Amino acid sequence: MNQNAKRYARDLILSSAAYVLILSISTFFVNNNPDSPWHILIVLTPVIPTIFMVLVFARYLNGLDELQQRIQLMAIGVAAAVTGLATFAYGFLENIGFPHLPLVWVFPILMALWGLGTAYFSRKYQ
């Protein structure tokens, strides 16, 4: 594992741990303080470590060679297009009675498709 990958793994683990901790604390606070005027700010605090996760990944991408950057670009592009089209289409299906899909699922869907795209394009360029 090269230095860029080691730094990425370390920073992603730290950001993920911060996310889990902050999410747990914010959920506990909101559930135990139903009348707090701070609900909006507290509920949004887990976004902060998520921003760091994005920055960690951007730094990782910057340290990749050109082929790996191309693989990631293709994977991100396909994931964004498929996620956008799927959620767009599903919005129409909701109009005819399909269950509501909360927006909180859009980002995990995008990330899962990105991972699949990365695997696909990595094999394609082998």
CA separation for the pair 63, 80 (Å, rounded): 22
At residue 34 the predicted structure's pLDDT band, cuts being 50, 70 and 90, is: confident
Residues 6+ apart with CB under 8 A from 117: 74, 75, 76, 78, 79
pLDDT at 1 over 80: no
Closest CA to 33 of 23, 43, 21: 43
Whole-number Å distance between alpha carbons of 122 and 69: 11
Question: Structure pTM?
Answer: 0.77
- Taking only the tens place, the pLDDT of each residue in 51-92 is 999 999 999 999 999 999 999 999 999 999 999 999 999 999
Phi, psi of 97 (to 5 degrees): 110, 0
Task: Report the alpha-carbon distance of residue 42 to residue 26 in Å, rounded.
Answer: 6
| Per-domain boundaries in the chain | 1-63, 65-126
